[in-house]
Amino acid sequence: MQRTTTDVLVVGSGIAGCAAALAAARDGAEVTLATKATEPEDASSWWAQGGIAVSREHPDAFREDIITASDDEADPGAVETLVGNANEAVEDVLLETLGIEFDTTDESAKAAGADERGFAYAQEAAHDEPRILHVNASTGRYILPPLLEHLQGLDNVTIEQDTAALELVTHEGLVHGAILERDGEFAPCFAGATVLATGGIGALYPRTTNPEGATGDGIAMAALAGADVEDMEYVQFHPTAYAGDESGDTFLLSEAVRGEGALLRNAEGERFMPDYHEDAELAPRDVVARAVQEQIDETGEVTLDVSPLDFADEFPDLAHKCEEYGVDWSDGIPVAPAEHFLCGGVAVDDRGRASLDRLFAVGECSRTGVHGANRLASTSLLEGLVWGLRAGETAAGAGDPEVVEAPDLLDSDPPLADNFARDKFVRLRRVMGEFVGLSRNTDDLNRAQAVLRRLKGEVDAYTRTRTSRGLYELRSATVVALLVSRAASENPESKGCHYLEPPATAAEAGAETADGD
């Protein structure tokens, strides 16, 4: 690779990164969008099922739902930014620019094109009213490809696919770009502003709804460069992922299915959610996820009963997915919690600015304050869109790129065995799944940190003389795993998706270290 310069470097090609690139390009900046993805489905946004929430005519109700779902931990100012910009951002980018054809109640209303377009707004968990625009139950895959295609048509946007960011370039407190890698070669890309949009951390857990590349790269790079990170203990688990088998292979069953009337039943056929929360199946995600896991532990299985609705007709994409996995939904779909979303990340303000000058973060790798301790359903695409647009616009005016001394990444030793990173990831996921999962306790968190510190020490020793994408992804994963476990151990209060087991339960667990040490 050759050294390059650009006005704005965006790392990541989900809706947040694409929105940032779009806004910066609209302001006349030269934009380079670097992404590990080679296909749209490699980005987390493509996997988003439920849809994108808007405030409609009731912004106050939307604000209240976000704060309630967050276990009252959401930042009111951030919530105001999200809700206040929701309708305009969706109208501008998704409807006017891209022409996304969201589901409607009838074709004549859609064809009319009036303000009342007949959108079939869905209702999901912890929403007090239907406010979610969607396309079937696969909204992300209908939004991301046309957004990428639109960017590819802009003269001042360059998209570098199959390109990873390894490390930020910093000098005297400023971020000046990043070291990029493609096909085993690496070089700095100097930028006036750098926007991290690298998605989540699903690759750190045995079962996740995220793509394989969700290794927390942006959070790790920012933290190693000295940027502030916050709320890392708030890792959200989705309650209804296909239970699958021990391989961890799964797919998400959108909350929209429960919003349309599907019920959760234990192995004895009993509906149990009314015993846990007054909103039953539509309670906040953290409540439903813990209830599902408890019923699995007590009865052996939980299924999603879709008999109250015409599943194949209302959710054809999910019905096809069930067929692909050999699931007969007429008998109920076996479900279990799976890692889904990180509510914390790189701490940013209402324009996506991080604590390091000229560094921005948007989407799941950022901590805007909107989600608090638990994310409200179908707000992730909206947050990525709103903060992406605001960060991109601000980044476009950050200043000209400056060539400075870049980190000297060494690649002097022979490459590691192909299975090196894979085997270390197995160990890391086992630790995170057992000790830093849906429920935590002090002893397990201490065990996790001890194992993870040793693992990070091993990885750091190899990165001193070797540079490869797989090795740096492993480094990112170990850094972020430590950040999550440390934040969890330092927060003594159960809030939202950070749930601490009562001391008696923790003492009875008596778990051993995950790697046998």
| CA neighbor of 239 nearest in space, from 209, 270, 269, 215 | 209
61 DSSP assignment: H
Count how many residues are written for the chain.
517
| CA neighbor of 143 nearest in space, from 251, 248, 3, 48 | 48
Q: Structure tokens of 163?
A: 């390109």
Provide the β-strand partners of residue 208: 339
Q: How far is CA 281 from the centre of its chain?
A: 23
The amino acid present at 14, given as its one-letter code, is G
Q: What is the C-alpha to C-alpha distance for residues 442 and 372, in angstroms, rounded to an integer?
A: 22
DSSP 434-481: HHSSSSB-HHHHHHHHHHHHHHHHHHHHHHTT---HHHHHHHHHHHHH
Provide the β-strand partners of residue 34: 11, 160
For residue 294, the tally of other CB atoms under 10 A from its CB is: 16
Pairing of strands 185-196, 4-11: parallel
Q: Is 99 helix (H, G, I), strand (E, B) or coil?
A: coil
Cα–Cα distance list, 67 to 302, 366, 452 (Å): 29, 18, 33
Instruction: Tell me which of 207, 285, 469, 486 is the catalytic residue.
Output: 285
Residue 285 appears among annotated catalytic residues: yes
Q: Structure tokens of 49?
A: 């099922």
230 DSSP assignment: E
| CA neighbor of 339 nearest in space, from 195, 456, 204, 173 | 204
State which H helix or E strand residue 393 sits in: helix 380-395
Cite the active site residues.
Answer: 285
